[in-house]
Amino acid sequence: MFDILLGDAYLTTEDQNKPHFPHTAHWNSIKTKIIVFAVIATVIPSVSMWWVSYVQNRKFLSEKITQELMDLSAQAAREVDLWFKERLYDVRVFSSSYLLSENLEKIFFTNPRQTETAVALRRLKDYLGSVREKFIPYDELALIDVQGNTVASSAASSNPVNMPEKWLETAQAGKRILGEPYREEGNGAVMVIGEPIQGGQGRLLGVLVAKLNFHTIGSSLESYVQDQEVELQLVTRGGLLLAGSPAARLEAMKRVLPKPIVEKFFSGETGPLGFNDSEGRKVVGTLKKVPELNWGVVAKKDREKAYAQIVRLRNLTLLLVAAVLVGIGLCAYLLGVAMVRPLGLLTRGAARVSAGDLEVDVPVRTRTEIGYLTEVFNHMVAKLREGRQELAAANEALLGKNKQLEHLSITDSLTGLFNRSHLMDTLAGEVARSRRHNRPFTLLIMDIDRFKRFNDTHGHLAGDEALRRTGFLLRDTIRNCDYAARYGGEEFVLILPETGPEQGVETAERIRKQVAEQEMGSDGEPLRVTVSVGVASFPRDGEDPRSLMKRADAALYEAKRRGRNRVVLSGEGRKRKQQETPRQVQSA
């Protein structure tokens, strides 16, 4: 009953964790192909229709948003243009007052008494103050003489007037003075407007300067967007925010729009432009230039609110497509299960066999072609099981022989050290490694002194015992990273990685002393031998195996020539004239 509920899942959890049979794994199974085909057949038309609908709706909404923002920005731009022309007209009217020219003439050209000058200055100040009280857009009205000094001002104390360059030349030509908008601390964005004041005979008496603020235009912009989720901002081509709606958001007005955004706006790009505004919000907006000014009115709207409708439509469509996919996928899954269930039992058995488990006996549940295939499969597995047992026994025996042969091929049977063949391969590898990492190593060649006389005196068995004990001593003395081999006869070679010539000599001297103190006789016989050691270092004495062996061998025979039982570093005996060859020294 449990097997039926699991759909012939007779395998244990451990069996199911083994690798799957490759031809039925996931993407290659019939069930998966049916599901994939059904899903693709549903996805392609559904997603295509959804995409077309989404693109069309987004295009329509973008056009609607563009039109709305363009209309608002165009109306506001006209209002700003009219407002600015009115301010210019106001300043021209103020400057044409006879009171200004009369009192300035009296101050600068009639040499009045001090009391008359004071009266003239008071009249000028009273006039400027009364005008300032009636016209809110001006923060300050001031009279500037031709030297740039403030003659009179509507403010009791004011910041110095920020006059534009070449203002005097412009005034002398009888033209209006227009400064660039700038930010004044504690006063927001302001702009200087000036009109020249001329007296009799066309003389320039001074300039009436009005410091224009943009607070009132901010209130006008706010009136355009009542009950709408749109904001208007007046910006310069340099990105300076002059005014905006809501006008109360003064902190935001202190910021400057990013230069790339301003350039795109003033370049005349059509359509809503998405960007992060001065407050860091994601918005879409359009810009309409103010006629005859290097300013523009930006109409912007929160991007999330602007596209909320299309986002809801997109999410709803995606939800419907997902629901359809789930339904189609479920139907395809049930169909696939019904089709592939007869193959499931045999597939899982094959998966176990492919994982190396031959203890498989798949039960035959049907008498169809699948049942016959299952019987053949069981017979095949039984034959494989028998063959594997025989092969395992043969492989085990062969493995033991191979290990024994490998050990014999690289090991000296008498001393247990590596032999000459393995030594040369190891030395070549150490040279390559040290050259690659730019690290030193030391090579020692050690020879038992007068070994032939030792053999002749004590017999070859005693000589073999001396060689064996010397090999044991070397293995116990050197580090784990060091290497020892029997080079041939009574000669031994040691490789000391990461060791310089001085440390190599110290190691060789320690080994020499230990060999001299070691009893080499068997059965308690007090026999001793001495060794001579030649030392060569990479790269000091050579950069290839042949050069190192040659230098170490020469040092060894120098030790022999000096009386044996000593350590000689390569190069110590080069200045000494050698008459006989190394082999003559040994035989001596």
Q: Quick: pLDDT tens for 106-157.
A: 777 776 677 777 888 888 888 888 888 887 788 888 888 888 888 888 876 6
pLDDT band at 19 (very low <50, low <70, confident <90, very high): very low
Whether the bond between 181 and the residue before it is cis, its omega within 30 degrees of 0, is: no
Question: Coil, strand, or helix at residue 494?
Answer: strand
Residue 582: its pLDDT value, please? 47
Question: Which is more confidently placed, 27 or 394?
Answer: 394
Catalytic residue among 490, 502, 517, 580: 490
Residue 431: the pLDDT is 94
The CATH T-level fold of domain 420-587 is: Alpha-Beta Plaits (3.30.70)
Predicted confidence band at 348 (pLDDT cuts at 50, 70, 90)? confident
Q: Tell me the mean pLDDT in the region 161-168.
A: 83
Q: Which residues, other chains included, contact 515 with Cβ-Cβ below 8 Å and sequence gap of 6+? A: 470, 473, 529, 530, 531
Task: Compute the distance between CA of residue 556 and CA of residue 585 in angstroms, rounded to an integer.
Answer: 10
Q: Which of 377-381, 548-552, 562-566 has the lowest mean pLDDT?
A: 377-381
430 as an active site residue: the answer is no
> If you average pLDDT over every residue of the chain, what do you get?
80
Pick from 353-362, 373-382, 493-502 the range whose average pLDDT is largest.
Answer: 493-502
Residue 20's pLDDT band, with cuts at 50, 70 and 90, is very low
Please tell me if the domain spanning 63-306 has the same topology as the one spanning 420-587: no
Percent pLDDT > 90 in the chain is 21
Helix (H) or strand (E) holding 151: strand 150-153
The pLDDT value recorded for residue 377 is 80
Quote the CA–CA distance of 444 and 143 in Å, as a whole number: 102
**Residue 370: per-residue pLDDT:** 67
Residue 242 has pLDDT above 60, yes or no: yes
Contact 126, 140 (CB under 8 A): no
CB-based contact 533:523 (threshold 8 Å): no
pLDDT tens by residue, 514-563 = 999 988 876 667 788 999 999 999 999 999 999 999 999 999 999 999 99
Lowest mean pLDDT among 163-167, 216-220, 484-488, 581-585: 581-585
pLDDT classification of 6: cutoffs 50, 70, 90: very low
pLDDT of residue 246: 66
Domain 63-306 has CATH 3.30.450.20: yes
User: What per-residue confidence (pLDDT) applies to 574?
Assistant: 55
Q: What pLDDT band is residue 31 in, cutting at 50, 70 and 90?
A: low
Tell me the chain's radius of gyration from C-alpha atoms. 52
DSSP, collapsed to helix, strand or coil, labels residue 230 as strand
Cα distance between residue 49 and residue 41, in whole Å: 13
**Residue 587 pLDDT > 60:** no
The answer, yes or no, to whether residue 49 has pLDDT greater than 60, is yes
Q: Is the pLDDT of residue 184 over 50?
A: yes
Q: Pick the residue with more confidence: 161 or 523?
A: 161
d(CA 285, CA 265): 9
- Residue 566 pLDDT greater than 90, yes or no: yes
Give yes or no for residue 5 having a pLDDT over 70. Answer: no
More confident residue, 586 or 536: 536
CA distance linking residue 9 with residue 1, whole number of Å: 11
Mind listing the pLDDT tens digit for each residue in 428-486? 999 999 999 999 999 999 999 999 999 998 888 888 989 999 999 999 989 999 999 99
Distance of alpha carbon 432 from the chain centroid: 36
Domain residue spans in the chain? Answer: 63-306, 358-403, 420-587
pLDDT at 336: 63
Q: What pLDDT shows up at residue 410?
A: 85
Residue 35 has pLDDT above 50, yes or no: yes
Distances in whole angstroms, Cα of residue 489 to Cα of each of 339, 461, 492, 493, 530? 77, 14, 8, 12, 15
Q: Give how far Cα 485 sits from Cα of 407, 463, 534, Å.
A: 14, 18, 15
In whole angstroms, what is the distance from residue 463 CA to residue 456 CA?
A: 9
211: exposed, middle or buried (C-beta count within 10 Å: 0-12, 13-18, 19+)? buried
Statement: residue 199 has pLDDT above 60: yes
Backbone dihedral region for residue 565 (phi beyond 0: left; psi -120 to 50: alpha; all else: beta): left
CB 557 within 8 A of CB 534: yes
Check pLDDT > 90 for residue 27. Answer: no
Does residue 16 have a pLDDT over 50?
A: no
Task: Check residues 450 and 327 and name the one with the higher pLDDT.
Answer: 450
Q: Is 360 helix (H, G, I), strand (E, B) or coil?
A: coil
List, in sequence order, the alpha helices (H) in 495-587. Answer: 501-517, 545-561, 582-587
Query: Over 60: is that where the pLDDT of 3 sits?
Result: no
